[in-house]
Structure 1
Amino acid sequence: MGKWHAHHILWLSLAAALATMGLKSLAWQLTGSVGYLSDALESVVNLLGAGFALTMFQYARRPPDDGHPFGHGKAEYFAAAFEGGMIFLAALAILVAAGERLLNPETLQALNLGTGLSVGAALINLAVARLLLRYGRALRSPALEGDGRHLMTDVWTTVGVVLGVGLAKWTGLLWLDPVVAIAVALHILHEGWQLLAKSANGLMDRALSPGTLTKLEQALQTMTPESCGFHRLRTRASGAQQFAEVDLQVPGDWTVRRAHDLADAAEHRLAELGVVATVHIEPVGSHGTDARQH
């Protein structure tokens, strides 16, 4: 896509995580706000997640080998699972810090400068998140899309923290600062659960989307002779890779060569749609079906 490659986006995400972690940590040090501390801790997760996502993305694109004949595509789901696990640890640290601050409130300092630093970090995250989501969806990459979703969550987290800390300073209700931090912890816990659920779903060989299935069925229909039929289309996703299996029923008097040529043409047609297909040939009437398309 364009002049950018996916690994360039992940390197950019890594650099952005370093920059935003520094900005948010400085904002916390200047203000003493546990709200800003919670935001800084989430940036640590961003940094670790971006580094692991880059590693898994590169590993997932290794060619098939004897030990992994279907490739290494599922490695990307480990990046989402790792980031989800790190989010849980960050949320726990935030809850501990916020609980202590609720018991021992402190006055906030240098709020204007700290807020400016956090807003700058949020703008960096917003720009990188949009790129990650755009390329992640286009390349069907769980690592890119998961990193982008988390960064976008981080943007809204920062917005909430800035508003909450500002309200605490304006009203003089210092307990609002740790309450905002607790809300951030609960929010990112939800995000972490979604990442873990999505990675688990991917590792269990989820089927391709209904839209993709419709395209595959239409492609097979356009090349099916009246006496033949494609049946039992099964699909699965493995990271950015897509696989399909389908049965091709042919008349019993067809030669092996003729049946093979039709199966080969079907595999090439689905390959044009980005799907690695395997066609199983069987005689018409197998499994109690006829030659009509299912």
Structure 2
Amino acid sequence: MPVFVAPNPVSLPLMSAPSSPAAASPVRVAAIGVGVALLVLGLKFLAYRLTGSVALFSDALESIINVVSAGGALLALWVAARPADASHPYGHTKAEYLSAVVEGVLIVLAALSILRVAVPELSHPRAVDAPWLGLGVNMGASVINLVWANVLLRIGQASRSPALIADGKHVMSDVVTSVGVLIGVVLARLTGWHILDPLLALLVALNILWSGWGLLSSSVGGLMDAGVDPHTDAQLRRVISEEATGALEIHDLRTRHSGQVTFVEFHLVVPSEMTVRDAHTICDRLEDAVQGVIAGANVTIHVEPQDQAKHCGVLVV
């Protein structure tokens, strides 16, 4: 059997981001996010100063984390956008996961700060002063956050940016927290049960802890080279099976995420007498198929002769 020299691994360049101007520049979106976070922070601290509410104070504390998170996302996206170099041949896209991990840690610290303030208030709850104006200011900040969270999530998903998606989820959790706080402070005012204020602060802290844990878990998965989800994996196997006509077998299919890029690699077994040109044609067809499932995927295919078949993996239709 002749020796078959595998072609050089085939890599596709990153596909351009969606045509939306905002989605085309995640760095610009992150920069705007810093300004939005600073505006919301100012409004929430104003609401706290007007009311003296511990729950509103906890809400304002979380907004400090939002500012730091937005700054971290901006820095991470700037680093991730740098092209590959000799020291980082696969690029700098994992910087986005580092940003998300730092954001998760900061969220946990914010929750602990809220607990430190709220727990003593349980034994000596205070009446909330001038609540209506303060609540109105806080509600305005929450509306701004709601709009911005949806923008971040939409653009983050369109541009496949873990940093923007993490920031959007964090801001959305802040919106949920703020709505709960507003309801609690209103009830405390209407019923005279002033203990509702510190109790709501405790619930805010627990919600933030849960949000931080989820963010840390997903970010660590990215740093540990987690593969695509089962649904996407099944789609990949289906299209590879359908588009590999002429080959004998596909095995050792592996995927991993790195920021906005998904790496896909596998071994393609072809008849030993097949020419390099024909094998390369199959590779081109498979690249297009993978790109149809995962936009922006970086594909590497290792071609092997027939005697390297493992008789397992993806069945060629």
With normalisation by structure 2, the TM-score equals 0.86
In the alignment, is the contact (CA less than 8 A) between 1:38 and 1:181 conserved in 2?
yes
Any residues of structure 2 matched to 1:95-244 within 5 Å, and which? 95-244=115-264
The structure 2 residue matched to 1:35, chosen from 55, 58, 77, is: 55
* Partner residue, 2:283: 263
Distance in 1, Cα, partners of 2:276 & 2:20: 44
In the alignment, is the contact (CA less than 8 A) between 1:12 and 1:128 conserved in 2?
no
SS in 1 for 2:78: helix
The structure 2 residue matched to 1:286, chosen from 298, 308, 313, is: 308
The structure 2 residue matched to 1:250, chosen from 270, 282, 303, is: 270
SS in 1 for 2:172: helix
Distance in 2, Cα, partners of 1:3 & 1:267: 27
Distance in 1, Cα, partners of 2:282 & 2:266: 13
After superposition, what is the alpha-carbon deviation per residue over 1:165-191, rounded to whole angstroms, capped at 9, x for unaligned? 111111112111111101100110000
Q: Which moved more, 1:61-70 or 1:254-263?
A: 254-263
In the alignment, is the contact (CA less than 8 A) between 2:52 and 2:129 conserved in 1?
yes
User: Aligned letter for 1:2?
Assistant: S
Distance in 2, Cα, partners of 1:120 & 1:109: 19
User: Aligned letter for 1:99?
Assistant: V
* Partner residue, 2:98: 78
After superposition, what is the alpha-carbon deviation per residue over 1:94-119, rounded to whole angstroms, capped at 9, x for unaligned? 11111222233222111011000100
Q: Which moved more, 1:261-270 or 1:35-44?
A: 261-270
Distance in 2, Cα, partners of 1:263 & 1:284: 16
The structure 2 residue matched to 1:3, chosen from 3, 8, 21, is: 21
User: Aligned letter for 2:300?
Assistant: T
What is the aligned residue count?
294
Distance in 2, Cα, partners of 1:227 & 1:240: 30
What RMSD, in angstroms, separates the aligned Cα atoms of the two structures?
A: 2.0
Distance in 2, Cα, partners of 1:71 & 1:184: 38
Distance in 2, Cα, partners of 1:222 & 1:96: 59
Q: How far 1:18 moved relative to its partner?
A: 0.5
The structure 2 residue matched to 1:66, chosen from 86, 96, 107, is: 86
SS in 2 for 1:288: coil
Distance in 2, Cα, partners of 1:225 & 1:11: 47
After superposition, what is the alpha-carbon deviation per residue over 1:90-142, rounded to whole angstroms, capped at 9, x for unaligned? 11111111122223322211101100010000000000000011111112211
In the alignment, is the contact (CA less than 8 A) between 1:77 and 1:239 conserved in 2?
yes
Gaps of 5+ in 2: 1-18
After superposition, what is the alpha-carbon deviation per residue over 1:223-246, rounded to whole angstroms, capped at 9, x for unaligned? 423453322321111111011111
After superposition, what is the alpha-carbon deviation per residue over 1:14-43, rounded to whole angstroms, capped at 9, x for unaligned? 111101100110111111110000000010
Gaps of 5+ in 1: none
Distance in 2, Cα, partners of 1:142 & 1:288: 36
In the alignment, is the contact (CA less than 8 A) between 1:231 and 1:293 conserved in 2?
no
User: Aligned letter for 1:281?
Assistant: V
Q: Which moved more, 1:125-134 or 1:87-96?
A: 87-96
After superposition, what is the alpha-carbon deviation per residue over 1:261-282, rounded to whole angstroms, capped at 9, x for unaligned? 5335534553564211111111
User: Aligned letter for 1:246?
Assistant: F
Distance in 2, Cα, partners of 1:172 & 1:265: 70
Distance in 1, Cα, partners of 2:245 & 2:110: 59
SS in 1 for 2:265: strand
In the alignment, is the contact (CA less than 8 A) between 1:234 and 1:245 conserved in 2?
yes
Q: Which moved more, 1:38-47 or 1:226-235?
A: 226-235
With normalisation by structure 1, the TM-score equals 0.93
The structure 2 residue matched to 1:275, chosen from 287, 297, 300, is: 297
